[in-house]
Amino acid sequence: MPQRLLVLGGGPAGDVAALRGAQLGAEVVLVERRELGGTCLNRGCVPSKALLAISALARKIRRADEFGLRVGELGFDLPRMQQRKDEIVLRLRRGVEAACQRKGVRVVAAEGRLEGEEVVAGGERLPYDRLVVCVGTEPSGLPGLELGERVITSDGVWGLQQIPERLLIVGGGVIGCEFASLFAPLGTRVTVVELLPQLLTGVDPRTAQQFQRLLEQEGVEVHLETRVERLETGKSSLRARLAPEGAVEVDLCLVAVGRSPQTRGIGLEEAGVELSQRGHVVVDPYLRTANPRIYGAGDCIGGLQLAHLASAEAARAAENALGEGAPREMDRTVVPNCIFTHPEIATVGLQAEEARAQGHEVRLGQARFLGEAKALAEGDPEGQVQLVSDAQTGLLLGATIMGPHAVELIHEVGVAITDGFTMAELGEVIHAHPTVSEVVMDAAQQGCGVAPYLS
């Protein structure tokens, strides 16, 4: 008799857990209270990239004269942009639904709650042998900033029908900076307020500073080590009082201060699942919770909130839960982290300070896109590659890339780290010319002192 696998949550973690479980011969039920695909597909990664693609095109068109092109006045139709975004989301969501149907995954469209050794959803009691919890996260709010028509989280962006003239973004992390990059080319006057001393905390400080400079060149106003003390509501605008000083008048406020797990009040603790102080599901290296029949994966277990990591965790959780071979730990050593700003920023492995903190003597390899023919030809030469290696062994430890196609280029370094390449070996891989990927080879060669143009 096949094992009964129940998956709670149908985002990029839950979908994969369910489909992998079906591949392994389990009888799978997937419980999701909203749309399949979760936040990433419906209210996060995918819709934001659909709109960011439009912003990138607008940015290019504004510079058309540099390329010898004559264009008329640039106009924007936000309802049509939203429609295009919705069409992309629907197409992908139907793909998830079709995959579940092909694999025999039963989808229950209801909110699930653990009761005893069953999950109650849509009036049904659903027994299970193994349960994988993939309930994800939701946007966090801030005390004193009451959400409403003019104060929204990222979820509220997808329903906008007018481009705001003046936008305040509270939070200079990944979400806040991506939205700044989205709205600035559409003509919005954007102000970003960040409590910490740099944007994109966790990114190499030099890269973050350069990104801030480029963001400000697009007209974005940035306030670091600043908080919104209060919002004053007028007839047609908001006035934000800033601390330690200053004020800004805007039409819309976007609160982008992170996300919180959706784990409270669904019976997890009563089932013996331990939750952290912030509400994340506590799992061991094999993704097991304190209840040996229950596993966790994705954003709800904490750590990096990345759809691709969530999917990888979910596949491993399903395999371990169903006894597919010997249990395997979840290895997060090489996980690309991509930020879809302009320019794009991507990291993998250890950054320089992290490597030093772990006791490595660090050697850096660095190269700028400014010297790359294709980046110049595309009119997008800002940014650089920084490779991190161990000075004694030469082994690659990590990388930070900011520049054109950074979110694609980072995977080359990820593969190199996984396969145990040294910086010298990466530099010896012949890269086609002219391509933007040459900058990775140049950085590796520079770190070894053999780059023809840089050493």
Q: Dihedral of the CA atoms 443, 444, 448, 451 (nearest 10)?
A: -60
From the number of C-beta atoms within 10 Å of its C-beta (0-12, 13-18, 19+), residue 209 rates as middle
- Report angle CA 189, 190, 195 to the nearest 5 degrees: 155
What is the rounded distance in angstroms from the CA atom of residue 39 to the CA atom of residue 178? 16
Q: Using alpha carbons, list the distances in angstroms from residue 55 to 213, 238, 340.
A: 19, 25, 11
Report the alpha-carbon angle 41-35-156, nearest 5: 65
Preceding omega of 127 cis (within 30 degrees of 0):
no
Cβ–Cβ under 8 Å, residues 8 and 38: no
- Give just the sign of the alpha carbon dihedral 104, 109, 114, 115: negative
AA letter at 143: P
Tokens 């693609």 belong to residue = 53
Alpha carbons 323 and 90: distance in angstroms, whole number: 35
- Which amino acid appears at position 451 of this protein? A
- Could you tell me how many residues make up the chain? 455
Choose the catalytic residue: 280, 360, 431, 433: 433
Q: How far apart are CA 381 and CA 375, in angstroms?
A: 5
Tell me which long-range contacts 67-75 makes (C-beta under 8 A, separation of at least 24).
Answer: 67/379
Query: Is residue 151 within 8 Å of 24, Cβ to Cβ?
Result: no
First-to-final CA distance of the chain: 65
For this structure, is 280 an active site residue? no
For the chain, what is the radius of gyration of the CA atoms?
23
How is residue 339 written in tokens?
């930020």
C-alpha separations of 282 from 133, 317, 378 in Å: 11, 13, 46
**Cβ distance 189 to 166 under 8 Å?**
yes
Tell me the catalytic residues. 433
